[in-house]
Structure 1
Amino acid sequence: MQIVYTDGLSEEEFFESVQHIVNVVSMYATSGSGWIIEKVEKLEIRFAKFNPIRGSTYIALRTELSALKCLLNIRNFNDPNCFLYCFTAAYNLQGKGCPLTQPGDRYSEKTNPATYARSNPLTHQAVGDFPMPMPIDKISAFERCNEVKVNGFRYEKKSLYPFRISNPNSDFVVDLLLITDGERYHYVLITDLVNLVRKVQGRQIDARAKICRNCFHVCSNNETLQKHEKLCYQFETCQVLLPEPDSNSLAFKKFQAKTTLPLVVYFDLESIIVPVSSVEQNPQTLETRVLDKHIPSGYCYVAISHGSPNLEFFHLYRGEDCMQVFVKQTETLAKDIYEKKQKHRYFTGAVGQAKELATHCWICETSCSADNEKVLDHCPFSNQFLGWAHSKCNLQRRTQSFVPIIAHNLSGYDLHHVVKSLHHCNPNNKFSIIPQTDENYISFSFKVWIKDIVNKNQNVIPIYEELRFIDSLRFMQSSLDKLVQFLPADSFDILDNHFEYCDQNDVKLLHGKGFYPYSYMDTFRKFKLKKLPPK
């Protein structure tokens, strides 16, 4: 969306806006978003009357502000020059000109616009011709002409906050409070900002303290204030809203994120690297030269249940059709998981704790002494007793509807081979991809069709078991070789048990990366060799 401030939209401005939209769409599609713009359905142009914020004629202060003796509200009923009056009054109050008022003068004399008007020869008037009421976008030019810093503040809902903070380096600072009655705006001069912040916010601030106008942070002297402002002024002004006393605490509520997943699948695949013979590349072209072709040669996946030392599912396969077999086995895995979930849908195991002995909910860890508050919670996959919980907590702690399948560098390598073989699966299955680019996917969901059921309204509802492929490299930004080095030697129980009849010195080679001869294994025939050739 582009906003144009003008009395009329010219043809040139219209086509510039259209070209801006085209450029944004082009950059979005080519910067790796993964989305493709098919068409622009409509182009909408809206016209609205713009009423900019401009300080104008006099508006009375609110009751809570009028009692504060740190504001000067000049009563300009007949002209919109409140901005200029505040500038002149600030110049005088900071001792830069002739005194216009005396401490004993009445408040009506101090707020009389004639005291600060051009007709008074003692006043210091602003340099430059600026429209009145003063628009906010013209204040910067006013500052440059008059070597002044003009800061703007608002007061709403009994809260004071800045809306415009100036950066020019000047020792003449004008702090203005912008008030409104709903239709008009009016500037009020802040004569003592520290006192105003102390009274509005109810803070104990020393009268000699220095305050940051951008965030109202209090400093003891000018040196610490300058160090603070150097960092603070890098950020835009904002309003700080503190919570109410009865809602100023945070409590953890997403209990479903607290529990571990009942089942996780890990997989990896290997490929043979076949050299590709091609003609020499022309250095004048930008074509990519293909050196090798990666052909999947085998895969392995293991499914581990939380709290169990044994494998729930395991499959290892090698062959030229390994990816077709992988897709079929993935469907079988999903169906086996579904059947196991249905088998333990209702708890049939041993209760680990008597109901009357449970005094706290195992999920939220708060008291649940009454027996009618407690319900039994169990794992629908392993049929394991988890504990006694509040009924509400038990409903909130929903087990993940999907089973994660995790591979390292899945997005950059493994998933490319998987996606190419999906046409071998059941056509009733569903897929969904979260892309990062056209060739790089963040995650991939594989919903395996299990069966169709008919509900009471005679509608056919398909039942799916979702397997979600996740890249562990997005959570652990390091190679497998480095990650494995952090593991102790006794952390490879599954691997060691699988090769328990092999020489343990050879098995230890499998505890790391870099020993497999990728460049040598370029055909499936070499898998039949009993040993590798000499170096």
Structure 2
Amino acid sequence: MVRTPYRYYADFEAFVKRKSSKRNVNGIELEESDHIPCGYALVCVDWQGKAVNWSVYRTDDEEENVAKIFFDDILQDQKLRQNVSELLQQQSSKSMIINPQLRDMLKKQIREDPTQLDPCYFCGEKFRRLSQQEMSKLFKNRPNMAVFLHDHCSGKFLGLAHNRCNLEASMGKISPCFTHNLKSYDSHFLVQAFDESMNATIIPCSSEKFMSFTVRNQIRFCDSFSFLSSSLENLTNTLKKNNTDDFKLTKEIFGKAENILKLYKRGGTDQEIEDLAQQINVDLLLQKGAYPYTHMQ
């Protein structure tokens, strides 16, 4: 069962613009700077772990509302994903993928002796025989009845579940968007772009930090640092120790010349694609690079 068929991962970059400098009580000079968002990267991943959409945006204009552009981008894509999800659910409900012999055998077992079936897929409790009074009720009013459970996206048969458990496990319509260190950094850009149409719901940690927030009841922004409490550099190095093949999405998106051109919303001739393909080195993306933040002004 897929509770949320699509999820997003995002990250922001910002200009660092000096405001002023002053000395503290110890005589140490401190610089105050404004962080102005100048771009973002966004990828949407489906229930199978495949990247279905990705985009990179950047600007040289400090006045451009990058966070607003980001919201327009992700909400537009989420609307498309919801339409796809509804279509998948309609198709899967009409044609569950299951071996016909297994289906007939399970139906017979449900009628004759459900106590011999494997436990409920969700709660793990054994099934029991229903009384005549329970069987006389409408199907939706038989919470303990064993029903067939299928993946709402692929249509594949998963197992048997109590009717009540199956109904409670319906597919969610709110997709999560994970951003590393959202609470302490990226959220400041996003919250400043809120307007009345966002209909935002916020879970605050304090007046300046937000644990999570939901926009238009469609996207829930979460901080991946909450459960992966280390820098992206350390997390990448830890994963690299096992096998660089684990970076499937990175290699899928940045390992192909045509995908890189797609990121910047442009095509290319066969020769351009071939030349770019020879220059690609995905392993460089798995290293910490020196980035001139203070010179991006």
How does the TM-score come out when normalised to structure 1? 0.40
Q: SS state of the match for residue 470, structure 1?
A: strand
Q: Structure 2 matches for 1:441-480, cutoff 5 A?
A: 441-447=210-216, 465-480=217-232
Could you say which structure has the higher helix fraction? 2
CA offset digits 1:243-286 (Å, max 9, x no partner): xxxxxxxxxxxxx9xx7643221111112323x153x5254699
Q: Is the 8 A contact 1:340 1:381 kept in 2?
A: no
Closer/same/farther in 2, CA of residues 505 and 330 from structure 1, 3 Å limit: closer
- Residue 483 of structure 1 aligns with an amino acid whose one-letter code is L
Closer/same/farther in 2, CA of residues 445 and 296 from structure 1, 3 Å limit: same
1:315 and 1:385 mapped to 2: Cα distance? Answer: 34
CA offset digits 1:433-459 (Å, max 9, x no partner): 111121111111112xxxxxxxxxxxx
Q: SS state of the match for residue 329, structure 1?
A: helix
Closer/same/farther in 2, CA of residues 277 and 445 from structure 1, 3 Å limit: closer
1:417 and 1:338 mapped to 2: Cα distance? Answer: 26
Are 1:508 and 2:283 matched, yes or no?
yes
2:181 and 2:219 mapped to 1: Cα distance? Answer: 18
Closer/same/farther in 2, CA of residues 503 and 323 from structure 1, 3 Å limit: farther
Are 1:492 and 2:247 matched, yes or no?
yes
Are 1:299 and 2:45 matched, yes or no?
no
Closer/same/farther in 2, CA of residues 345 and 473 from structure 1, 3 Å limit: same
- Residue 200 of structure 2 aligns with an amino acid whose one-letter code is F
Q: Is the 8 A contact 2:4 2:174 kept in 1?
A: no
2:123 and 2:103 mapped to 1: Cα distance? Answer: 17
1:506 and 1:395 mapped to 2: Cα distance? Answer: 47
Which position in structure 1 is the counterpart of 2:273? Answer: none
Which position in structure 2 is the counterpart of 1:388? Answer: 160
Closer/same/farther in 2, CA of residues 381 and 332 from structure 1, 3 Å limit: farther
Q: SS state of the match for residue 344, structure 1?
A: helix
Are 1:518 and 2:292 matched, yes or no?
yes
Structure 1 gaps of 5+ residues are 1-255, 448-464, 524-535
- Residue 314 of structure 1 aligns with an amino acid whose one-letter code is W
Which position in structure 2 is the counterpart of 1:273? Answer: 16
CA displacement at 1:311 relative to structure 2: 1.7
Which position in structure 2 is the counterpart of 1:325? Answer: 69
Closer/same/farther in 2, CA of residues 437 and 305 from structure 1, 3 Å limit: same
Structure 2 gaps of 5+ residues are 107-116, 136-144, 258-276
CA displacement at 1:482 relative to structure 2: 0.9
1:261 and 1:338 mapped to 2: Cα distance? Answer: 10
1:485 and 1:430 mapped to 2: Cα distance? Answer: 39
Q: SS state of the match for residue 208, structure 2?
A: coil
Which position in structure 2 is the counterpart of 1:481? Answer: 233
Closer/same/farther in 2, CA of residues 384 and 402 from structure 1, 3 Å limit: farther
Q: Is the 8 A contact 1:433 1:443 kept in 2?
A: yes
CA displacement at 1:396 relative to structure 2: 2.9
- Residue 475 of structure 1 aligns with an amino acid whose one-letter code is F
Which position in structure 2 is the counterpart of 1:341? Answer: 85
- Residue 296 of structure 1 aligns with an amino acid whose one-letter code is P
Find 2:103's aligned residue among 355, 376, 384: 355
CA displacement at 1:310 relative to structure 2: 2.5
Q: How many residues align?
A: 241
2:19 and 2:128 mapped to 1: Cα distance? Answer: 75
Q: Is the 8 A contact 2:174 2:220 kept in 1?
A: yes
Closer/same/farther in 2, CA of residues 304 and 387 from structure 1, 3 Å limit: farther
The percent identity for this pair of structures is: 24
Q: SS state of the match for residue 296, structure 2?
A: coil
CA displacement at 1:299 relative to structure 2: 1.2
How does the TM-score come out when normalised to structure 2? 0.69
Root-mean-square deviation (CA, aligned residues, Å) is 3.2
Find 2:191's aligned residue among 403, 419, 423: 419
Q: Is the 8 A contact 1:327 1:422 kept in 2?
A: no
Q: Is the 8 A contact 1:355 1:388 kept in 2?
A: no
Which position in structure 2 is the counterpart of 1:314? Answer: 54
Q: Is the 8 A contact 1:355 1:374 kept in 2?
A: no
Closer/same/farther in 2, CA of residues 316 and 380 from structure 1, 3 Å limit: farther
CA displacement at 1:341 relative to structure 2: 2.9
Greater relative CO, 1 or 2 (CA 8 Å, sep 6+): 2
Q: Structure 2 matches for 1:93-492, cutoff 5 A?
A: 261-274=4-17, 276=18, 278=20, 280-281=21-22, 283=24, 289-306=30-47, 308-319=48-59, 320=61, 321=64, 322-346=66-90, 347-353=93-99, 354-358=102-106, 359-360=117-118, 361-368=120-127, 373-381=145-153, 383-423=155-195, 427-447=196-216, 465-487=217-239, 488-492=243-247
CA offset digits 1:160-217 (Å, max 9, x no partner): xxxxxxxxxxxxxxxxxxxxxxxxxxxxxxxxxxxxxxxxxxxxxxxxxxxxxxxxxx
2:123 and 2:105 mapped to 1: Cα distance? Answer: 17
Closer/same/farther in 2, CA of residues 348 and 331 from structure 1, 3 Å limit: same
